[in-house]
Amino acid sequence: MKYVIIDILRNKIVLAYTIFLLLLSFMLFGLEDNTTKGLLGLLNILLIIVPMICIVFSTIYIYNSAEFIELLVSQPLTRSRIWLSLFAGMAFSLSLAFLIGAGIPLLIFVPDITGITMLFTGLLLSIIFIAIALLASVKTRDKAKGIGVAILLWLYFSLLFDGIVLFLLFQFADYPMEKPMILISTLNPIDLGRILILLKMDIAALLGYTGAVFQQFFGTLWGQATSFIILLLWTLIPLWISVRRFNHKDL
């Protein structure tokens, strides 16, 4: 884990990712007197760029470390420990990059519950998409195919899922879909994170009656706790499946 952390923190892509987030965050808050506009701009970055970098970089890193992983497997170490150490190293490194790049501006310009919620959501999304990347990389041997699967998963969660939801809403427009939307939103960690942040920004009224239903559920302490538990499950379930797959994989 220590080796992975040192190796990733020295990686130029991670350094560029950190600097990019830092400069963009300060620009978004510096150009507008209203912090809400800066938050909305940063929200788009958090929901699109952060998951993309985490899933693509982690997938490529696993494939590039194939020989190192084979060497570790030949040592008196359990496979579960090796895989979890790789995950922990990547999660720590990319989370640290996000904390420096987006966390510092958030704590400077929005030192309230909204900024903290956005910070924790960004960290959870980073870790979630690292876990998904591990699952994608352990499922296939071919590097190009694995990276392609990772990009498709990112496209699905960030773009295609919303299109599918809109299609369902149009198809079942004559039925009350507000409450089922709560369940549907839990099937996408990006959508769930977006709802949590928008509710903290007190602009749920823009979502109409659906926003009122979200406010009624996710706005409560129980609803927020449930949301973060679901986000944790989005980390644990893919990680658990990838560990089981790695334990039985023929390297």
Tens digits of residue pLDDT in 25-42: 888 887 767 777 778 888
Q: Reduced to 3 states, what is the DSSP secondary structure of residue 4?
A: helix
| Mean of all residue pLDDT scores within the chain | 84
pLDDT of residue 60: 92
pTM: 0.89
Give the C-alpha separation, 21 to 127, whole Å.
17
pLDDT of residue 204: 53
**pLDDT interval class at 117 (50, 70, 90):** confident
Q: pLDDT tens digit string along 40-92? A: 888 888 888 999 999 999 999 999 988 888 888 888 888 899 899 999 999 99
Q: Which residue has the higher pLDDT, 130 or 183?
A: 130
Q: How far apart are the first and last CA of the chain?
A: 20
pLDDT of residue 188: 87
Give the C-alpha separation, 62 to 148, whole Å.
14
Listed in sequence order, the residues at least 6 apart from 37 whose beta carbon sits closer than 8 Å to its beta carbon are 28
pLDDT above 60 (res 206): no
User: Which whole number is the average pLDDT over 128-156?
Assistant: 90
pLDDT of residue 215: 65
**pLDDT interval class at 202 (50, 70, 90):** low
Q: How much of the chain exceeds pLDDT 70, in percent?
A: 90
Listed in sequence order, the residues at least 6 apart from 18 whose beta carbon sits closer than 8 Å to its beta carbon are 97, 100, 101
CA dist list (Å): 116 to 99, 107, 189, 209? 11, 8, 18, 27
Q: Which of 51-65, 105-119, 226-240 has the lowest mean pLDDT?
A: 105-119
Q: pLDDT tens digit string along 157-191? A: 988 888 887 787 777 767 766 677 777 878 888 88
Q: Which residue has the higher pLDDT, 178 or 4?
A: 4
CA dist list (Å): 93 to 30, 47, 166, 209, 246? 27, 19, 36, 40, 22
Q: Is residue 186 packed enough to be buried (19+ CB in 10 Å), middle (13-18) or exposed (0-12)?
A: middle
Backbone angles phi, psi at 11, to 5 degrees: -70, 135
Q: Which residue has the tokens 């023929």?
A: 250
CA dist list (Å): 53 to 47, 48, 151, 196, 201? 11, 9, 10, 22, 26
User: Which whole number is the average pLDDT over 235-239?
Assistant: 93
With the CA atoms of 230, 198, 162 and 51 taken in that order, what torsion angle do they form, in degrees rounded to the nearest 10?
Answer: -60
Contact 149, 73 (CB under 8 A): no
Backbone angles phi, psi at 76, to 5 degrees: -75, 65
pLDDT of residue 209: 43
User: Which whole number is the average pLDDT over 214-242?
Assistant: 81
